[in-house]
């Protein structure tokens, strides 16, 4: 595969956004390991860790739809900077409490709940701002580069975090994390002013309803959001809950599972690189066709196949996931009016965030009732059935790539600084 072409970074405003997202994603990659050990340092209990993680997840789910409306109602750069500054504050306070050994469990729960709420405002705005910065024909390239970086930091972040936690403690990992959000905000400020948001007298609730209309009026959009969310619960959750058990009982334990997850991450990076180069004429048809490859990991785990075979399946699944996600985001940005993109994004993310924890919670009891093998086979079968259902809809399989190359005055190509 060719090395990625990052010519999109010659566009000054997108370059500033890209570096802002890069530091933000580095912070996201650092948190999971640091948070786990921070909680266990305060209270050595799985219940305590679950409480803090739940606090963060609940506020993210609870505010994601609100964040979508705000992202379409206020200047998106302002929303993102505010979110970064709030997250800087929560992580800096967490770091200070841990380093000075004054942290209590309720401190961590409250601060991470605030962090989750701020993230819920950042995400829809960050998707909606990209079309304001780049030409329409370069949206896929921009999305692919952001996805590539996110996948890379999902591998690098835990390593960085683990090193800091092991040598200096979780408090210092949070200190580094807080700094990443401050850097992100500084790059966002470098973007400069964008086009003014159209004034509206509509109420918050009216804008919420209008955003939902934009979603339900496009069959390809609500079907993609719904079936992607169901896939997170029915296919993805069994892989990551039952996979380690299969590795422990039938393979080489942690080494096997590490290899499988590493190849999944490598596949995600490869999928993002592929999306930088290949722009299919029917993006949603190609994306959902590729997602049938996600049936491979649960099917291979159900056998169970040798580690190398399962890891290969995971690699192909990773490719399909990031390639398909990049195509979907690009179509959304091209087809949905710019003043509704954040709301459309928040509805699709809201579904995914609600159903994924339900899937994680339900896998164990289902596997206890029908067995791990049957649960994994069911996960694989559902992925194939879901892809077939979505591909049977003409509005999905026949949607064509936008070729409009008109330049937005706010998205001109600037000289490299």
Closest CA to 268 of 136, 149, 382: 149
Query: What whole-number distance in Å separates Cα of residue 263 and Cα of residue 170?
Result: 27
Phi and psi dihedrals of 24, rounded to 5?
Answer: -60, -45
304 upstream amide cis, omega within 30 of 0: yes
Closest CA to 93 of 123, 119, 114, 117: 114
Exposure b/e, 3-41, CB count within 10 A at least 16 = b: ebeeebeebbbbbbbbbbbbbbbbbbbbbebbbbbbbeb
Q: Which CATH class is domain 213-403?
A: mainly alpha
Residue 176 CB-half CA count within 13 A: 22
CB 414 within 8 A of CB 11: yes
CATH number of 1-191: 1.20.1250.20
List the domain boundaries for the chain: 1-191, 213-403
Same fold, 1-191 and 213-403: yes
Per-residue pLDDT of the chain (417 residues; tens, 9 = 90+): 444 456 778 888 999 999 999 998 888 888 888 888 888 888 877 678 778 888 888 898 889 999 999 998 899 999 999 999 999 999 999 999 999 999 999 999 999 999 999 999 998 999 889 988 888 888 888 898 988 888 888 778 877 888 888 899 999 999 999 999 999 999 999 987 765 555 566 787 888 888 888 888 999 999 988 999 999 889 998 998 899 889 989 998 878 888 898 899 899 999 999 998 888 999 999 999 999 999 999 999 999 999 999 999 999 999 999 999 999 999 998 899 888 899 988 988 888 778 877 888 888 899 999 999 999 999 999 999 999 999 999 989 999 887 644 434 443 333 333
């Amino acid at each position: 595969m060719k090395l990625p072409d990052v010519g999109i970074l010659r566009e000054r405003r997108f370059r500033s956004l890209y570096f802002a997202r890069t530091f933000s994603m580095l912070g996201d990659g650092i948190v999971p390991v640091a948070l786990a050990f921070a909680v266990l340092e305060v209270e050595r209990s799985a219940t305590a860790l679950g409480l803090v993680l739940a606090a963060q997840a609940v506020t993210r789910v609870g505010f994601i739809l609100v964040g979508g409306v705000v992202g379409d109602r206020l200047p998106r750069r302002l929303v993102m900077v505010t979110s970064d500054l709030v997250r800087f504050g929560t992580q800096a306070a967490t770091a200070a409490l841990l380093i000075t050994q004054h942290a209590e469990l309720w401190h961590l729960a409250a601060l991470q709940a605030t962090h989750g709420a701020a993230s819920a405002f950042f995400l829809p705005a960050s998707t909606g701002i990209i079309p304001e910065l780049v030409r329409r024909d370069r949206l896929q390239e921009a999305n692919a580069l952001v996805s590539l970086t996110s996948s890379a930091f999902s591998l690098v972040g835990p390593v960085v975090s683990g090193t800091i936690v092991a040598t200096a403690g979780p408090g210092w990992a949070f200190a580094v994390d807080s700094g990443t959000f401050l850097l992100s905000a500084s790059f966002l400020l470098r973007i400069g002013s964008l086009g003014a948001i159209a004034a509206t007298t509509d109420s918050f609730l009216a804008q919420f309803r209008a955003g939902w209309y934009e979603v339900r009026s496009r069959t390809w959009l609500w079907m993609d959001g719904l079936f992607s969310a169901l896939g997170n619960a029915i296919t993805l959750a069994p892989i990551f809950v039952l996979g380690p058990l299969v590795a422990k009982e039938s393979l080489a334990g942690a080494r096997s599972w590490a290899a499988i997850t590493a190849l999944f991450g490598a596949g995600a990076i490869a999928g993002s690189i592929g999306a930088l180069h290949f722009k299919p004429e029917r993006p949603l048809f190609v994306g959902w066709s590729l997602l049938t490859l996600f049936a491979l990991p649960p099917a291979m785990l159900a056998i169970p196949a040798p580690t190398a075979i399962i890891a290969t399946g995971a690699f192909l699944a990773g490719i399909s996931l990031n390639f398909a996600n990049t195509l979907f985001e690009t179509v959304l940005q091209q087809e949905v009016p710019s003043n509704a993109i954040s709301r459309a994004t928040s509805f699709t993310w809201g579904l995914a965030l609600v159903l994924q924890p339900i899937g994680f919670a339900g896998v164990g009891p289902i596997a206890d009732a029908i067995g791990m093998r049957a649960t994994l086979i069911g996960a694989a079968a559902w992925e194939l059935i879901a892809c077939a259902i979505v591909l049977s809809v003409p509005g999905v399989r026949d949607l064509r790539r936008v070729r409009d190359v008109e330049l937005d005055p706010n998205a001109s190509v600037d000289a490299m600084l």
